[in-house]
Structure 1
Amino acid sequence: MQFNIRGMTEQFAVEILNWKYEAPYDFYNNDLSAENIRELLDQKYYSVVDEYGQLIGFFCIGSAAQVPIGHVYGVYLDDHIDIGLGMKPDLTGKGYGYSFFAYILQYIKETYTNKIVRLTVAKFNIRAIRLYEKLGFRRKTEFINHSTVFITMLKE
């Protein structure tokens, strides 16, 4: 599968907000609302499409990739590039994650040279954490928001 990065469009934002993941990943489900569409269009969100222009995932950078309560814990004080990502639900768990995220990381590396990349992941998401560790991320800090524990991970 080929990957290409595109700007976020309203059509892609609506598609992403309609994605439904199965438990326990339903934690990542969103509501389709004008406010959520606006966030995907106004923040630094990018779509990732295949060779046919079909949406397969997205990523975001900066504050859009941070869990707001993390600021209370001081986990975002260092000047790193924060990244968040998601893949179309019917493509998850099929072995595409490594090449998908490696492609995004290459883009980040070329765009933001000499920056440490940081991501925040829910601790229960063992599948994602394994992938991130395979790609060279190491665990840094844990913090809690309501009943969910989050982990920040760094790649230098």
Structure 2
Amino acid sequence: MGACRRMLYEFEPVNERYAREILSWSYGKPCSSHDEPAEGLLAVLLAPENNYHAILKDGELVGFFCAGPDARVPGGNYDGDALDIGLGLRPDLVGQGLGLGVVKAILRFARERFSPAAFRLTVATSNRRAIRVYERAGFEWECLFEGEGGAEFAQMVREAEG
């Protein structure tokens, strides 16, 4: 008899309640670049074509992710067939050791839903904590680029399988 695996995280399309909660989050320094004004972003989070999903644990919102063009940062090179992933963990949960498990759950879900050949994500090089998590999840540095406002970003990729 096989072992039963309990799903740690569940995914649902972002609804208005989740979107408003996500837009209320504030990361502070050094991640204040993630704190953007909510104007116009509510519609972006709710648009089905943007593939925003709430990440839930025991029915509680712990983060979100998006897949596809909305996960891209202007200035990057997004050629190729990798699925772009963007994500955010609820600010009070950052630094509590949840990142790797959340990233692995996102990759599992996205692999089943989108069947990509590879995953790509874009992260500010100043976000060292996130970069360490992505490296532990099997992502490798692909390139660096300067985004709008002069911030430096890294694009990281990994194969979808594995």
- TM-score by length of structure 1 reads 0.92
Percent pairwise identity? 38
Matched, 1:61 2:63: no
List gaps (5 residues or longer) in structure 2: 1-6
Match of 1:17, SS? helix
**1:50: how far off?**
1.2
Distance 1:113 1:7 in 2: 18
1:21-36 → structure 2 map (5 Å cutoff): 21-33=27-39, 35-36=40-41
Q: Which runs of 4+ in 1 moved over 3 A?
A: none
- TM-score after normalising by structure 2: 0.88
Q: Identify unmatched segments of 5+ residues in structure 1.
A: none
Asked if residue 100 in structure 1 is aligned to residue 102 in structure 2, the reply is: yes
Per-residue deviation, residues 64-112 of structure 1 (Å, max 9, x unmatched): 0001222xxxx10112100000000000000011111111111112223
CA distance in 2, matches of 1:130, 1:122: 12
Matched residue SS, 1:133: helix
Q: How many residues align?
A: 150
Provide the residue aligned with 1:7 in structure 2. 13
The question of whether the paired residues in 2 share the 8 Å contact of 1:118 and 1:155 is answered with yes
- Kindly provide the amino acid, as one letter, of the partner of residue 12 in structure 1: Y
- Please, which of 148, 151, 156 is the counterpart of residue 153 of structure 1? 156
Alignment partner, residue 44 of structure 1: 51
- Equivalent residue number for residue 4 of structure 2: none
Measure, in 2, the Cα distance between the counterparts of 1:20 and 1:127. 17
Alignment-derived partner of residue 80 in structure 1: 82
Aligned residue number for residue 16 of structure 1? 22
Aligned to 1:138, which of 137, 140, 152? 140
Classify the secondary structure of the residue corresponding to 2:41: helix
What's the CA shift string for 1:37-67, capped at 9, x where partnerless?
000011210001111x211000001110001
